[in-house]
Amino acid sequence: MKRIVVLGSSFGGLTAAFDLKRFLGKDAAITVVSDDDRFVFLPSLPWLIMGHRRPEDITLKAADILKPRGIDFLHEAAVRVEPEASKVFTAAGESGNESEIPYDYLVISTGPSLAFDEIPGLGPDKGHTNCTFTLDHAVNTHAAWKKILEDPGPVVVGSSQGVSCFGPSYELAYEMDAELRRRNMRHRVPLIYLTSEPYLGHMGVGGLGNSKRFFEDTFAEREIKCMVNQAIEEIAPGEVRLKDGTKLPFKFAMIAPPFKGVPAVAPLGNPRGFIPVDKQYRHTRYKNIFVVGVAVAIAPPEPTPVPTGVPKTGFMTVKMAKTAAAVIKAEVKNETPPSPGELNVVCIMDMGNTAALMKGDPVLPPRRKSVTKKGAQYKALKIAFERYFLFKMKHGFSNLP
């Protein structure tokens, strides 16, 4: 029986675990290890911030959906991997005592480490800004947003240098504008979109179709002021200070932090802690380690004046996880491994009173097809997809599209 350990209980981790159990059945003992005992539908965190969702609407208990399918769940934090020995070490509870878990195969789907400390004053815990990348941060950001509705003032939304996920910041800029207009308060809230991207709609992938013109036009229509190609020096109470000397006052700031690899697995990767893989998402050195999602190292398509990273969306992460699971299955069963397809991206971005569909095939240029377009039907599609994916994960139906 093969011992397979999966690090992470989000999109990639659960998809890999469900697929592997379905493929291998009793031939594999699968353990999912995570310091978060919840699956969170991360694309809905902007809606939670705006008050359109509650935490219980978009979360599932990991153990409740894994154990009935014969998959063990360990609610502990991984602290390091020893690849030569094929072991994961975890720290359990308040004691922090380490335990070791041997594996025949390891699937890493740990997501990012949010590097707030790289910019003084950034972040909700030790700084002066809010964040949308975790459930707990989003709950706190919702509380801060409610205060703006009660006592309006300047708002700064955007992404700092080193970010590789720009979508939620764009969504929140549009959603905040729409909500303020609905309340007839927009004229009392100056709204600035601040980003490290060289131009609006770059998204870390060199743009998608007409995304540059799309974002420029829609921001102009809504009078959202944009500041591109910017690096942040520090955040002071009520003020964003940029490296070019510009100072932006704020009463509410939601700024995405730089991304780097999670400390437990970062030594397996590059200087930022992202891990190099081949086309099957296998570690380039350790052949029994597979990596999916944000933890994967993907080189940017072009150099940018201010550093930006390549996004790895939930859609992309699921495709990586399914490829990795299929390759492991083929090895265990002595079958021919599948040929991995090119990685593409599909993203639906809520815009408050409408939504946008963004597609790139493949994800990095040059592409066969690339498009950004808006329509009310895409908002309905985003709502439907949220319900569909939560249903999929709740019942372990990773084999569905």
3 state SS for the chain: CEEEEEECCCHHHHHHHHHHHHHHHHHEEEEEECCCCEEECHHHHHHHHHCCCCHHHCEEEHHHHHHHHCCEEECCEEEEEECCCCEEEEEECCCCEEEEEECCEEEECCCEEECHHHCCCCCCCCCCCECCCCHHHHHHHHHHHHHHHHCCCCEEEEECCCCCCCHHHHHHHHHHHHHHHHCCCHHHCCEEEEECCCCCCCCCCCCCCCHHHHHHHHHHHHCCEEECCCCEEEEECCEEEECCCCEEECCEEEEECCEEECCCCHHHCCCCCCECECCCCEECCCCCEEECHHHECCCCCCCCCCCCCCCCCHHHHHHHHHHHHHHHHHHHCCCCCCCCCCCCEEEEEECCCCEEEEEEECCCCCCCEEEEEECHHHHHHHHHHHHHHHHHHHHCCCCCC
Q: Where are the domains of the chain?
A: 2-113+259-340, 120-258
For residue 138, what are its two tokens? Answer: 């989003």
DSSP-derived pairing of the beta strands 87-92 and 77-82: antiparallel
Q: List the catalytic residue out of 332, 347, 356, 364.
A: 347
Return the CATH class of domain 120-258: alpha beta
pLDDT of residue 96: 61
Identify the bridge partners of residue 347 per DSSP, sorted by sequence position.
Answer: 358
Q: In this structure, what are the phi and psi dihedrals at residue 262, rounded to the nearest 5 degrees? A: -65, 135
Q: List the catalytic residue out of 14, 33, 165, 275.
A: 165
Q: State how far the Cα of 271 lies from the Cα of 269, in Å rounded to an integer.
A: 7
Sequence-distant (6+) residues with CB within 8 A of 84 are none
Please give the single-letter amino acid code of residue 9.
S
131 is catalytic: no
For residue 264, what are its two tokens? Answer: 């437990």
* Model confidence pTM above 0.85: yes
Q: How many CA atoms lie within 13 A of 376 on its CB side?
A: 1
pLDDT of residue 274: 98
Residue 331, class by beta-carbon neighbours within 10 Å (0-12 exposed, 13-18 middle, 19+ buried)?
middle
Return the CATH class of domain 2-113+259-340: alpha beta
Structural contact between residues 43 and 346, judged by C-beta atoms closer than 8 angstroms: no
Distance of CA 57 to the CA centre of its chain: 19
- What is the rounded radius of gyration, in angstroms, for the C-alpha atoms of the chain? 21
Sequence-distant (6+) residues with CB within 8 A of 351 are 171, 174, 175, 178, 218, 374, 379
347 is catalytic: yes
**Domain 2-113+259-340 and domain 120-258 have a common topology:** yes
DSSP-derived pairing of the beta strands 239-242 and 247-249: antiparallel
* The length of the chain, given as a count of residues: 401
Q: How many CA atoms lie within 13 A of 165 on its CB side?
A: 26
pLDDT truncated to tens, each residue of the chain (401 aa)? 999 999 999 999 999 999 999 999 999 999 999 999 999 999 999 999 999 999 999 999 999 999 999 999 999 999 999 999 999 999 875 666 789 999 999 999 999 999 999 999 999 999 999 999 999 999 999 999 999 999 999 999 999 999 999 999 999 999 999 999 999 999 999 999 999 999 999 999 999 999 999 999 999 999 999 999 999 999 999 999 999 999 999 999 999 999 999 999 999 999 999 999 999 999 999 999 999 999 999 999 999 999 999 999 999 999 999 999 999 999 999 999 988 888 999 999 999 999 999 999 999 999 999 999 999 999 999 999 999 999 999 999 999 98
For residue 374, what are its two tokens? Answer: 């808006």
